[in-house]
Amino acid sequence: MRGRLRGWAGFRWFAGFRGRLGFQGYGALVAVVVLAALCAALAPAPTTRATAVPRAVGPVPLERLFDNTAVSDDARPDAADFDGSGASLSAQDLAAAGWTPGRTLTVRGAHLTWPRRQPGEPDNVRADGQDIGVAGRGDALVFLVAGTGSDTVGGPGTVSYADGSRSAYLLTAPDWRTGPLGTKAVALPHVNTPDGQLAGKARLYVVTVPLAQGREVVSVRLPRADDLHVFAVSVRATTPGWSGSWAAATSGLLAVGPWADRTVRLVVHTSVGGPRVRLRFDNTFAATLVRIGRATVAVRSSGAQARGTPVRLSFRGAAGADIPAGAQAFSDPLSFAVPADADLLVSFHLPQAVSAAPVHRLAVQRSYVSEAGDHTADRGSTAYTTVLTSWPLLTGVDVGGGPGSVVLLGDSITDGDQSTMDTNRRWPNVLATRLLAQAVVPRYGVLNQGISANRVVSDRYPGDGISTDSGGVSALNRFDRDVLAQTSVRTAVVFQGVNDVRWGATADQVIAGLRELAGRGRAHGLRMLAATILPCRGEARCTAAVDVERVAVNSWIREAGVFDGVLDFDEAVRDPAQPARMLPAYDSGDHLHPGDAGLAALAESVDLSLL
């Protein structure tokens, strides 16, 4: 289409020029045009790019090949043409999101630099088989991309390694205006056009593809897909020397507070311990930057009381951190003895007003918010006057050393719904205690990535904007963030599906989703396990028809051999006399969620050697 438009513009120019020359001049011009046409027929085909860039010999940095302009100033919207129709991203919207020129963003554990270009300057590459110099060793290649073809676009590419070997990958990107919000890195509220600004979500995506394990990357050949735009690419480094000890998945962007000049003190329970600590904060699903003024960590005594003076954290050497929308901030490694199977207090000051935040809603744990002021260094609890039962912003606690982590991807049963408040009786906690007490398998950290109401194949939270639904995006849409990007993950357990079948999904749909999760995890070198779905007869939505679908999914999990192992949770808690129901001793009373005894039974049934 772009080529046809340029041809029409050339024809109109030619017609106008003919008029200015007159008839005699026209005859001379015909000879010139014929000669030019012959030369053009023998010459290579011209580029169709907005800004022609000579093909480089050998791999070069991505920014040297920028040939498209995606960002315009609101005052000059015609200075960019991202999609061939004159539309572009707003520089002002990007700045509000914290995506400023040259800024390094940490997204899904990878460092990506937003192009150091001013509005109206070329800032991305249209993928056309270019060889990009990319160095590093890690588990994934990470791209910051968007499509402009009104549909998902992409194609195959090649990674070259220092040892001379290569591996193939497939890179796809959703459309920047119509793609899914559940997987986007950031969404901006406007689209700039020469005719004015339009209200509508402009999306950018971070996409990961697996790398050959242990090999050093030296270059990447992009796919040939003209509507695939690449803004940045990097290698996500592995994290030797660290194990994940605690984690929580963001279940939505929820209204909070509002908190202005308040300190949030969260109570989290470790699995493994270590001599060093670092924390991870995520601004997932947000549209604007959030600032953390100061942050501390301490071992908890009781309530909001610390056992000792809280120890200050730093972020790239600074006391606080600005976290762009959709990005993360890791604290600097801190020498701090983290005990295993113990409560920590993580305190952070929010100096600016925060009225909505990424939140894990169901904490099953009381945390605290202070009166006005920075109370991160307070040992006592006097200033912490408000109780909080969710975990905002904080998504991970890593400890130094250890063998790595096991990630448990689940729904409300993994999240601990109906377990006793403040007692850490979720089945992931019981599993972590079992691992600490044995020496047969490595003492992995256990990361609970359960979200109450979550499903395998459909989103509960739409993926953008403030919502009252905290059921999260689907397991398929959060798998990269909540499993693949977790610290030193070795094994993942998928324990989901009951919410899908309870709300009308067929067994075939759930099976297709589980199969995809298994394939994606194994492509990244993970050991993938699946747990069977628990019986739930007696709960309002668990009809006989639903149980037929549940049983079909469980049969597939047990028999298909798609996963590396099976945890038969259904068998562990079902009533032998009524297999569609849980044993009364394990039932919390709502017939869907196990109580403390049932959750313990799940954890005790796990064959640790499978991990």
347: left (phi > 0), else alpha (psi -120 to 50), else beta? Answer: beta
Residue 34's pLDDT is what? Answer: 31
Residue 15: which residues within 8 A CB-CB, separation 6 or more?
none
Contact present, 489 and 404 (Cβ < 8 Å): yes
- The span from the CA of 395 to the CA of 298, in Å, is 17
Q: Per DSSP, what are the bridge partners of residue 278? A: 398
Amino acid type, 500: D
- The span from the CA of 570 to the CA of 486, in Å, is 27
Residue 91 backbone dihedrals phi, psi, to 5 degrees: -65, -35
Q: What is the pLDDT of residues 198-255, one digit of tens each?
A: 999 999 999 999 999 899 999 999 999 999 999 999 999 998 899 999 999 999 999 9
User: How would you label 481-509 residue by residue, b for 16+ Cβ within 10 Å and e otherwise?
Assistant: bbbbbbbbbbbbbbbbbbbbbbeebebeb
- The span from the CA of 254 to the CA of 275, in Å, is 34
- The span from the CA of 292 to the CA of 384, in Å, is 18
Residue 539's pLDDT is what? Answer: 98
Q: Which two tokens stand for residue 200?
A: 């509508």
Contact present, 370 and 296 (Cβ < 8 Å): no
Residue 150's pLDDT is what? Answer: 86
Contact present, 141 and 233 (Cβ < 8 Å): yes
Q: Which two tokens stand for residue 272?
A: 């493994």
- The span from the CA of 229 to the CA of 497, in Å, is 35
Q: What is the pLDDT of residues 544-577, one digit of tens each?
A: 999 999 999 999 999 999 999 999 999 999 999 9
Tell me how far the alpha carbon of residue 137 is from its chain's centroid: 20
Contact present, 193 and 106 (Cβ < 8 Å): no
CA atoms 252, 174, 475, 342: torsion sign: negative
Residue 43's pLDDT is what? Answer: 36
Q: Which two tokens stand for residue 150?
A: 């009104």
Q: Which CATH number does 403-611 carry? A: 3.40.50.1110
CB atoms under 10 Å from CB of 135, counted, come to 12
- Tell me how far CA of residue 126 lies from CA of 62, 70, 207, 546, in angstroms: 11, 11, 16, 47
Residue 58's pLDDT is what? Answer: 84
Contact present, 202 and 92 (Cβ < 8 Å): no
User: How would you label 544-571 residue by residue, b for 16+ Cβ within 10 Å and e otherwise?
Assistant: eebbebbbbbbebbeeeebbbbbbbbbe
| Ranges under pLDDT 70 in the chain | 1-57
Torsion of CA 228, 512, 581, 603, to 10 degrees: -70
Helices vs strands, H then E, count in the chain: 10, 36
Q: Per DSSP, what are the bridge partners of residue 334? A: 277
- The span from the CA of 326 to the CA of 418, in Å, is 31
Residue 374's pLDDT is what? Answer: 98
How does DSSP classify residue 60? B
Residue 213: which residues within 8 A CB-CB, separation 6 or more?
139, 525
CB atoms under 10 Å from CB of 322, counted, come to 16
- The span from the CA of 362 to the CA of 254, in Å, is 12
Q: Domain limits of the chain?
A: 1-44, 62-237, 256-397, 403-611
Taking the whole predicted model, whether its pTM rises above 0.85 is answered as: yes
Tell me how far the alpha carbon of residue 211 is from its chain's centroid: 18
